[in-house]
Amino acid sequence: SILSSGVAAIMIALLFEPARRRVQRFVDKKFFRIRYNYRLAQSEFTQQIQRFYQISSLSRFVIEKLSELLMVEHMGLYILDKDDRWVLSAGYNVSEMDDMFKETLFDFGKRSESPLFAVNRFMEAGIKYESADNTISKQNTIALVVTLRIQNAPVSGFLVFGPKKSGLPFTR
């Protein structure tokens, strides 16, 4: 009968959903994770950045390399310009944030001991970070912010990351 066929189809779908999730997680890990030698990558990166003399080209290079490495939906590098305004120095698939949110990030950077500001659901357990207000982060589609400090400045810039394309949390 139609009713028994419908019930059977629903039961099968419910039983196979956990298996489908496990297979999806495996595929995401296989295709969205890169295995690399950290020491070699750091050495190569250090050598490559020595050729840059302008902050704009260095910013674009950093964003390009980080987007290849982390495979996030979007990211941006914000720095203070000479007029003490936050500007998007370089970005990948990101739009300009409103000034109020930039000031919120700046205030966080000044008062926080941790350089990381993140939304809980995007972070692996065991990583130390300051929890973000989910409504602000959801509104701006931000998963993780890394505060940049140069010399004695409270905050010189910040890297803003969207969620990973794989849907997996940020790890160590």
Element (H, E) at 147: strand 144-148
Measured distance CA(44)–CA(122) in Å, rounded: 28
Collapse the DSSP code of 165 into the 3-class scheme (helix H, G, I; strand E, B; otherwise coil) and give the result.
Answer: coil
State the chain's mean pLDDT as an integer. Answer: 78
User: Model confidence over 24-57: pLDDT tens digits?
Assistant: 777 666 666 555 566 777 788 888 888 888 888 8
CA distances from 72 to 51, 65, 68, 100 (A): 26, 12, 8, 24
Whether the predicted pLDDT of 8 surpasses 80: no
Whether the predicted pLDDT of 165 surpasses 60: yes
Residue 142: exposure state from Cβ atoms within 10 A (0-12, 13-18, ≥19): buried
Q: 86 with 80: CB under 8 angstroms?
A: yes
Whether the predicted pLDDT of 147 surpasses 80: yes
User: Model confidence over 73-120: pLDDT tens digits?
Assistant: 888 888 888 887 888 888 888 877 777 777 777 777 777 777 888 887
Residue reference for tokens 């912010």: 145
Tokens describing residue 134: 């989910």
